[in-house]
């Protein structure tokens, strides 16, 4: 997997307005069926990890743990972001392709 390419895609996705970040926003996007893909930090706290994983599993949203909190935060230009959800199908497909390479 090419982390640099994934982080670049996250930045473009945020700039286009198709990214939700932060635990509460991510959960809300999952529950409202807007989330196409969720990225959860590998070093997320147990509580945040369980909450987001349970929601994504229940609503059938793809969830991947591939980046750290610092990498996610750097990619989207914000601090301490544990999770992000992608709300655009095209971006989600592009990111999944990079993740599965």
Mean pLDDT of all residues in the chain?
94
Average pLDDT on 17-26 reads 93
Rounded to an integer, what distance in angstroms lies between the CA atom of residue 6 and that of residue 50? 24
Residue 101 banded pLDDT, cuts 50, 70, 90: confident
Instruction: List the CATH code of the domain at 3-99.
Output: 3.30.1330.30
How many other C-beta atoms lie within 10 A of the C-beta of residue 60?
A: 8
What is the reported pLDDT for 6? 93
- The domain locations on the chain are 3-99
What is the reported pLDDT for 87? 95
Whether residue 1 is predicted with pLDDT greater than 90 in this model: the reply is no
Kindly report, residue by residue over 65-97, the tens digit of the pLDDT.
Answer: 999 999 999 999 999 999 999 999 999 999 999
What 49-54 contacts at long range (C-beta under 8 Å, 24+ apart), as own/partner pairs, is: 51/23, 51/27, 52/23, 52/26, 52/27, 52/82, 52/83
Burial 27-58 (b: 16+ CB within 10 A, else e): bebbeeeebbbbbbbeebeeebbebbbebbee
Q: How many CA atoms, within 13 angstroms, populate the side-chain half-sphere of residue 67?
A: 29
């Amino acid at each position: 997997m090419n982390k640099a390419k994934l982080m670049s895609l996250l930045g473009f996705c945020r700039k286009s307005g198709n990214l939700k970040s932060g635990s509460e926003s991510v959960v809300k996007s999952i529950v409202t069926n807007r989330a196409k893909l969720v990225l959860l930090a590998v070093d997320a706290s147990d509580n945040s990890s369980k909450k987001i994983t349970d929601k994504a599993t229940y609503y059938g949203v793809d969830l991947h743990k591939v980046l750290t909190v610092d990498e996610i935060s750097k990619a989207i230009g914000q601090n301490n972001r544990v999770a992000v959800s992608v709300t655009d199908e095209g971006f989600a497909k592009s990111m999944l392709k990079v993740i599965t390479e």
